[in-house]
A and B are shown apart, each in its own frame.
Chain A
Amino acid sequence: MKKGKVLINNKHFKDILICIMWPATINYGSGILARNIGRDMWVCGIISVLSVLPFIVIITRIGQNFPGKTIVEYSRELLGRVIGKALGLLLAIYFFLSASSSISMYVHHLTGFLLPQTPFLVVTLLHVFIICYLVWEGPEVIARISVFAFAMAIIFYLLVFAASLTEINIDRITPIFDTGVISVFKASLDTDAFIGFLPIIIAMLLPIVNDQRKALGAAVSGLFIGGFFFILYFVVELMVMGPQVVAMMRIASMDFVRAIQITQYLHRFESFMVALWYWSIMIQEGILIYCSLESFMQTTGIKKKSPFIIITFGLMLIASTYYMGHNDVVFLRLREHVWKYFSLPIDFGVPILLFLALGVKKIIINNKN
Chain B
Amino acid sequence: MRKIAALLILIPSLLLTGCWNAREINELGFVLSIGLDKTEDGFKVTAQMASPETFSKTQSGSGGSQKKPFLIVSSTGKTIFEAIRNMAAISSRRIFWAHIKVIIISEDLARSNTLEIFDFFSRNPELRLRTLIAVTPEEAGEIIEVIPEMEKDPALYLEKIIENESLTGKSYSVMIKDFLEDYLDPNVGPVTSRIVLDKSKEKPVIKTSGAYVFDGYKVSASLNEKETRGLLWIKNKMKDSIMVVYCPEDNKPVTLEIKSSKSSYKSSLNNGIPHFIINVKADASITEQACLTDFNDPEKLNELSKTLEKDITKDIQSTITTAKELNIDFPGLSRIMHRQHKNEWHQVSSKWENIFKDTEVTINAKVNIQHVSLAKPLEPINVQ
Q: Select the stretch in B125-133, B134-142, B323-331 that faces chain A.
A: B125-133
Known: A116-B21, A241-B177, A307-B1. Is A267-B128 also a contact (CB below 8 A)? yes
Q: Which residues of A from 79 to 137 have beta carbons under 8 Å from B?
A: 112-119, 122, 125-126, 129, 133, 136
Known: A117-B20, A126-B12, A258-B127. Is A245-B185 also a contact (CB below 8 A)? no
Kindly identify which residue among A114, A119, A171, A240 contacts B335, using a CB–CB cutoff of 8 Å.
A171
- A171 CA to B373 CA, complexed, in Å: 37
Kindly identify which residue among A126, A175, A240 contacts B177, using a CB–CB cutoff of 8 Å.
A240
Closest chain-B Cβ to A111's Cβ sits at a distance in Å of 10
Judge whether A248 is part of the interface by a CB distance below 8 angstroms.
yes
Closest chain-B Cβ to A253's Cβ sits at a distance in Å of 13
- A250 CA to B4 CA, complexed, in Å: 38
Kindly identify which residue among A118, A261, A307 contacts B20, using a CB–CB cutoff of 8 Å.
A118
Whether A245 pairs with B125 at a CB distance below 8 angstroms is: no
Kindly identify which residue among A126, A133, A248 contacts B122, using a CB–CB cutoff of 8 Å.
A248
Q: Which residues of B from 25 to 55 have beta carbons under 8 Å from A?
A: none
Closest chain-B Cβ to A112's Cβ sits at a distance in Å of 6
Known: A133-B5, A261-B130. Is A175-B338 also a contact (CB below 8 A)? yes
Known: A175-B338, A178-B342. Is A115-B21 also a contact (CB below 8 A)? yes
Closest chain-A Cβ to B126's Cβ sits at a distance in Å of 9
- A116 CA to B19 CA, complexed, in Å: 11
Whether A268 pairs with B98 at a CB distance below 8 angstroms is: yes
Judge whether A300 is part of the interface by a CB distance below 8 angstroms.
no
Whether A248 pairs with B127 at a CB distance below 8 angstroms is: no
Judge whether A259 is part of the interface by a CB distance below 8 angstroms.
yes
- Among B4, B130, B181, chain A packs the most CB atoms within 10 A around the CB of B181
Whether B339 pairs with A174 at a CB distance below 8 angstroms is: yes
Closest chain-B Cβ to A41's Cβ sits at a distance in Å of 15
Kindly identify which residue among A125, A175, A260 contacts B342, using a CB–CB cutoff of 8 Å.
A175
Judge whether A311 is part of the interface by a CB distance below 8 angstroms.
yes
Whether A267 pairs with B130 at a CB distance below 8 angstroms is: yes
Judge whether B6 is part of the interface by a CB distance below 8 angstroms.
no
Judge whether B16 is part of the interface by a CB distance below 8 angstroms.
yes
Whether B20 pairs with A115 at a CB distance below 8 angstroms is: yes
Whether B125 pairs with A248 at a CB distance below 8 angstroms is: no
Judge whether B375 is part of the interface by a CB distance below 8 angstroms.
no
Kindly identify which residue among B5, B129, B335 contacts A259, using a CB–CB cutoff of 8 Å.
B129
- A108 CA to B5 CA, complexed, in Å: 26
Whether A259 pairs with B177 at a CB distance below 8 angstroms is: yes
- A117 CA to B20 CA, complexed, in Å: 7
Judge whether A244 is part of the interface by a CB distance below 8 angstroms.
yes
Whether B21 pairs with A241 at a CB distance below 8 angstroms is: no
Contacts of A136 in B (CB 8 A): 1
Contacts of B339 in A (CB 8 A): 171, 174-175
Judge whether A255 is part of the interface by a CB distance below 8 angstroms.
yes
Known: A258-B127, A258-B128, A267-B128. Is A115-B19 also a contact (CB below 8 A)? yes
Judge whether B254 is part of the interface by a CB distance below 8 angstroms.
no
Judge whether A242 is part of the interface by a CB distance below 8 angstroms.
yes
Which residue of chain A has the shortest Cβ distance to B15 in the bound complex? A122
Judge whether B184 is part of the interface by a CB distance below 8 angstroms.
yes
Kindly identify which residue among A129, A242, A268 contacts B128, using a CB–CB cutoff of 8 Å.
A268
Q: Give B262-275 as 1s and 0s: 1 = Cβ < 8 Å from A's Cβ atoms.
A: 00000000000000
Whether A122 pairs with B177 at a CB distance below 8 angstroms is: no
Kindly identify which residue among B5, B19, B129, B342 contacts A255, using a CB–CB cutoff of 8 Å.
B129
Contacts of B185 in A (CB 8 A): 244
Closest chain-B Cβ to A37's Cβ sits at a distance in Å of 14
- A287 CA to B1 CA, complexed, in Å: 21
Which residue of chain B has the shortest Cβ distance to A311 in the bound complex? B4
Whether A244 pairs with B338 at a CB distance below 8 angstroms is: no
Contacts of B98 in A (CB 8 A): 268
Contacts of A133 in B (CB 8 A): 5
Judge whether B150 is part of the interface by a CB distance below 8 angstroms.
no
Q: Give B84-126 as 1s and 0s: 1 = Cβ < 8 Å from A's Cβ atoms.
A: 0000000000000010000000000000000000000010010
Closest chain-B Cβ to A233's Cβ sits at a distance in Å of 16
Whether A112 pairs with B184 at a CB distance below 8 angstroms is: no
Judge whether B381 is part of the interface by a CB distance below 8 angstroms.
no
Q: Which residues of A from 209 to 257 have beta carbons under 8 Å from B?
A: 240-242, 244-245, 247-248, 254-255
- A113 CA to B125 CA, complexed, in Å: 6
Kindly identify which residue among A112, A175, A244, A267 contacts B125, using a CB–CB cutoff of 8 Å.
A112
Which residue of chain B has the shortest Cβ distance to A255 in the bound complex? B129
Q: Give B196-237 as 1s and 0s: 1 = Cβ < 8 Å from A's Cβ atoms.
A: 000000000000000000000000000000000000000000
Q: Give B6-24 as 1s and 0s: 1 = Cβ < 8 Å from A's Cβ atoms.
A: 0010001000100111000
- A255 CA to B127 CA, complexed, in Å: 10
- A140 CA to B253 CA, complexed, in Å: 76
Closest chain-B Cβ to A130's Cβ sits at a distance in Å of 10
Judge whether B363 is part of the interface by a CB distance below 8 angstroms.
no
Q: Which residues of A from 145 to 203 have beta carbons under 8 Å from B?
A: 171, 174-175, 178
- A178 CA to B342 CA, complexed, in Å: 6
Contacts of B16 in A (CB 8 A): 122, 126
Which residue of chain A has the shortest Cβ distance to B5 in the bound complex? A133
Closest chain-A Cβ to B309's Cβ sits at a distance in Å of 25
Judge whether B83 is part of the interface by a CB distance below 8 angstroms.
no
Contacts of B1 in A (CB 8 A): 136, 307
Whether A245 pairs with B12 at a CB distance below 8 angstroms is: no
Judge whether B180 is part of the interface by a CB distance below 8 angstroms.
yes
- A309 CA to B122 CA, complexed, in Å: 44
Which residue of chain B has the shortest Cβ distance to A251 in the bound complex? B125
Which residue of chain A has the shortest Cβ distance to B185 in the bound complex? A244
Contacts of A112 in B (CB 8 A): 125
Whether A245 pairs with B177 at a CB distance below 8 angstroms is: yes
Which residue of chain A has the shortest Cβ distance to B19 in the bound complex? A115
Whether A122 pairs with B20 at a CB distance below 8 angstroms is: yes
Q: Which residues of A from 276 to 312 have beta carbons under 8 Å from B?
A: 307, 311
- A242 CA to B332 CA, complexed, in Å: 14
- Among A133, A136, A244, A255, chain B packs the most CB atoms within 10 A around the CB of A244
Q: Report 13 cross-chain contacts, Cβ distance below 8 Å, ordered by A residue.
A: A114-B21, A115-B19, A119-B20, A240-B177, A244-B180, A244-B184, A245-B180, A245-B184, A248-B122, A255-B129, A258-B129, A258-B130, A268-B98
Closest 6 CB pairs of A and B: A118-B20, A244-B184, A259-B129, A242-B181, A175-B342, A259-B177
In the complex, besides A136-B1, A259-B175, 10 extra interface pairs with C-beta distance below 8 angstroms are A125-B12, A171-B339, A175-B342, A178-B342, A242-B181, A244-B181, A247-B184, A248-B180, A258-B129, A311-B4
Chain A residues at the B interface, C-beta cutoff of 8 Å: 112-119, 122, 125-126, 129, 133, 136, 171, 174-175, 178, 240-242, 244-245, 247-248, 254-255, 258-261, 267-268, 307, 311
